[in-house]
Structure 1
Amino acid sequence: MEITEINAYGVNVPLVPFEEGGLAPYVTNHNSLDDMDRILVEVKTDDGLSGWGEVRSFLTPEATISVIEDGVQPLVLGQSPFELEKLRRQVFIEYTNADMFFAPVEVACWDIVGKALDEPVYKLLGGWTTPTQTETKHRSNQGEYDDEKAVEIAYCLGILSPEKSRERAAEVLESGYSVLKTKAGRDWKTDVARIKAMHDEVDGELEFRLDPNQGWTTDQAIRVGSSLADAGIYLQYMEQPIRVNAHKSLASLKNQTGQPIGPNEDTYIPNNLRRLIDAGAIDVAVLDLTPAGGIAGLRQQAGIVEDAGLPMVHHCAFDLGVRTAAILHAVYGIPGFSMPPDSTYYAWEDDVIECEFTVDNGAIEVPEEPGLGIDIDRSRIEEYRIA
């Protein structure tokens, strides 16, 4: 079996407004979203099988599509989708990290391999029956899963007023979630007030993650973490509170605030995982398969984190059904993912897959069909396609 063609399609899909139960506008410390550009990638083979991957748009949809079709495609044509480790090691574009552009192609190859072998991707990964997967699912206040092949997700919320955040936190708890992640970083005092308001509203029954996307200075991060600890609020983790490559400062934050530190953007930089571990600057690894170069790269990172005895969680990037499926298979099939992955899947007005995922009691079932277990609705691609 050989790869014969790679096609990428840019789509723009709206988000459900906050007043209608969605997240738009989704405000972070650097932007505000009412819709999102996504790039869907189809890999075809000479056996008639095809697979799908998905990635966010980098710079522009046109630029991302060009790198994938004109840059990555010539490097993998004529080769087998089964040779994933070979492919990811030979995709090299001088002066840039090509992993993020190769990732959707790599995921599509997993999809193809699963279809060829008539097995779902999570079974190909081999880790779904390990003790860490079946015995330490993060479900502390929800009881057992009705379906054991389900992944709990963390609800994600943009920057809102303390009043609106309080209102949504109650709805999130009522819907069966046990973890809420919220953006931060525009005003650290308001960030503290929002967490306190949500914590009080749910009587401490939700756990919180706070993500300023590098938006605080070190002194601000210390004030946030310490203020919350003084109020008896202990986060699951503060995600990348300060800029990347400031590992000594990251290491000092936990000691000064008592809050766990979860680097994210720092883990996108090659070899930084080992540096963070060596510096004692990481309590939770917030990983992402796209900057890792795909599922195989994510598995390699997960091994490093697990060997260090640290918990890990998967990041989200406003993922449609294709990448959501890939994340579900990855966190279910790779040992060590003991915390719910972030997700905003419930926020889309529509999706490009035929059978959309449903969130039930804060969890999404892992597809059982071969490959990623999804079918693409091409008419929806055309409906939302970026001209």
Structure 2
Amino acid sequence: MRITAIEAIPVTIPLKPLEDDGIAPYVTNHNSLDDMDRVLVRVDTDEGISGWGEVRVFLSPEATVSVIEDGIAPMVVGQSPFEIERLRRQLFIEYANPDMFFAPIELACWDIVGKATGKPIYELLGGWTAPHQTTRRHRNHQDERRDGRSVEFAYCLGILSPEESADRAKAVADRGYTVLKTKAGRNWRRDVERIVAMHDAVDGSLEFRLDPNQGWTLDQATRVAAMLDDAGIYLQYLEQPIRVNAHGSLAALRARTSQPIGPNEDTYIAHNLLRLIQADALDVAILDLTPAGGIAGLRHQAAIAEEAGVPVTHHCAFDLGVRTAAIVHAVAGIPGFVLPPDTVYYSWEDDVLAEPLELSNGRIRVPTDPGLGITVDHSTVDRYRIDE
């Protein structure tokens, strides 16, 4: 089997507004989102089997499409989709890291391999049978995973007022979620107020993640952690509180607080995960398959973290059904993922899948059909594509 063609399709899909039980505008310390640009990638083969991938837009839809179709595709077309590790390791572009642009092609290759062999991706990965795998609540129940596999997810919320945050926290807990992640970083004192308000509103029934996207200085992060300690609130983790590549400062923060530290953007940089472990600068590894170059690269990173005894979770990049399905398969099939990934899958006005993923009680069922186990709805893609 050989790859014959690769097409990148940019789409823009709106987010549900807050008043309709959605999350838009989704406010962070650096922007506010009402919709999101994504690029879907279809890989075709000479045996009539096609696979799908998905990636976030970088710089612009046109730039992302051009890099994938004009830059990466010529290195891959004509080769076998089964040779995923070789494809990943052969890519080299001087002065640039092509991993993020190869990642959606790699996902499509996994989809093709699964369809060709009649196996879902999580089974090809094999790790779903490992003990202590995938979720905290069910990780020791092998029968549950075989008969009704699902992955627990954390609910994501932008920056709101403390009162609005408290109301949403109660609604999230009522829906069956056990973890809520909220953005932060515009006003660190206000960030503490919001966490306290949410914690009190649900009487401690939710765990919280606080993510300022590098928005604090070391002294501000130290004060936030200390104030939460004083309030008797212990986060599941504090995500990337300070800038990347400041591993000594991150280690100093970790030594000063009981709040677990979870670098995210730091792990996008090659070899940083190992350096963070060596610097004693993290309690949780928040990984992402796109900067890792796909599922194979993600598996490599997860193995590094697991070997060091560091729990692993997966980042959300406003993923539609294609990449969300890939995350579900990866988290279910790779050992080391013991904390729920983040998701905003509940927030889209529409999805590109003919049948949306099953999301209930904070969990998404693992697709069991071959490959990603999804079908892309071409009419929906055409409705939202942005290059026509």
Q: Fold-level match, TM-score > 0.5?
A: yes
Structure 1 residue 145, shift from structure 2 partner: 8.5
Structure 1 residue 147, shift from structure 2 partner: 6.0
Structure 1 residue 138, shift from structure 2 partner: 6.8
Letter in 1 for 2:162: P
| TM-aligned CA distance change 1:3 to 1:352, over 3 Å | same
Separation in structure 1 between the aligned mates of residue 243 and residue 88 of structure 2, nearest angstrom: 28
Structure 1 residue 137, shift from structure 2 partner: 3.9
What residue is the counterpart of 1:98 in the other structure? 98
Letter in 2 for 1:207: E
What residue is the counterpart of 2:375 in the other structure? 375
What residue is the counterpart of 1:273 in the other structure? 273
Partner SS state of residue 10, structure 2? strand
Separation in structure 1 between the aligned mates of residue 103 and residue 272 of structure 2, nearest angstrom: 19
What residue is the counterpart of 1:249 in the other structure? 249
Letter in 2 for 1:69: E
What residue is the counterpart of 1:8 in the other structure? 8
For this pair of structures, how many residues does the alignment match?
384
| TM-aligned CA distance change 1:361 to 1:247, over 3 Å | same
Partner SS state of residue 189, structure 2? helix
Letter in 2 for 1:274: L
TM-score, with structure 1 as normaliser: 0.97
Cα pair 1:313 1:341 within 8 Å, conserved? yes
Separation in structure 1 between the aligned mates of residue 134 and residue 191 of structure 2, nearest angstrom: 35
Cα pair 1:137 1:339 within 8 Å, conserved? no
Separation in structure 2 between the aligned mates of residue 104 and residue 44 of structure 1, nearest angstrom: 13
Structure 1 unmatched runs, 5+: none
The within-5 A match list for 1:1-387 is 1-133=1-133, 136-137=136-137, 148-387=148-387
Partner SS state of residue 172, structure 2? helix
Letter in 2 for 1:8: A
Cα pair 1:138 1:340 within 8 Å, conserved? no
Separation in structure 2 between the aligned mates of residue 137 and residue 30 of structure 1, nearest angstrom: 34
Cα pair 1:139 1:178 within 8 Å, conserved? no
Task: Identify which range, 353-362 or 288-297, moves more after superposition.
Answer: 353-362
Partner SS state of residue 124, structure 1? helix
Letter in 1 for 2:34: D
Partner SS state of residue 53, structure 2? strand
Letter in 1 for 2:303: G
Query: Alpha-carbon deviations, 1:104-124, whole Å to 9, x = none?
Result: 000000000000000000000
Partner SS state of residue 180, structure 2? strand
Partner SS state of residue 290, structure 1? helix
Structure 1 residue 254, shift from structure 2 partner: 2.0
Cα pair 2:254 2:282 within 8 Å, conserved? no
Task: Identify which range, 169-178 or 127-136, moves more after superposition.
Answer: 127-136
Separation in structure 2 between the aligned mates of residue 135 and residue 357 of structure 1, nearest angstrom: 18
Separation in structure 2 between the aligned mates of residue 206 and residue 181 of structure 1, nearest angstrom: 10
Partner SS state of residue 9, structure 2? strand
Separation in structure 2 between the aligned mates of residue 242 and residue 306 of structure 1, nearest angstrom: 24
Task: Identify which range, 337-346 or 85-94, moves more after superposition.
Answer: 85-94
Letter in 2 for 1:356: P
Structure 2 unmatched runs, 5+: none
Letter in 1 for 2:151: V
